[in-house]
Amino acid sequence: MAPRDHRITLLGKPGCHLCDDARAVIERVAAELGVPWEERDITASPEDQAEYWEMIPVVLIDGVQHDYWRVNENRLREALRR
């Protein structure tokens, strides 16, 4: 599977400094590898809040949880190359 065949989702909330840090890492890696990504505000979804509130920011790759709190740039890059 090529990196561009994956999709990254960042789950966060407004005013979250860790979310800002995660967004910067995702933007950099996604641009480098040509991977599409999206951001979802968990405050807009009771289901997301119930599941992820204490872990934000949460990074999903193809809908599967990859990381939370701090995003490791090298680990994200390697996961997208699989």
User: What is the rounded CA–CA span in Å between residue 79 and residue 82?
Assistant: 6
Domains contained in the chain, number: 1
pLDDT at 1 over 90: no
Segments forming the whole domain that contains residue 26: 3-81
Domain of 66: which CATH number? Answer: 3.40.30.10
Prior bond of 3 cis (ω within 30°): no
pLDDT at 82 over 90: no
Q: Per-residue pLDDT tens for 39-71?
A: 999 999 999 999 999 999 999 999 999 999 999
For residue 21, the SS3 value is helix
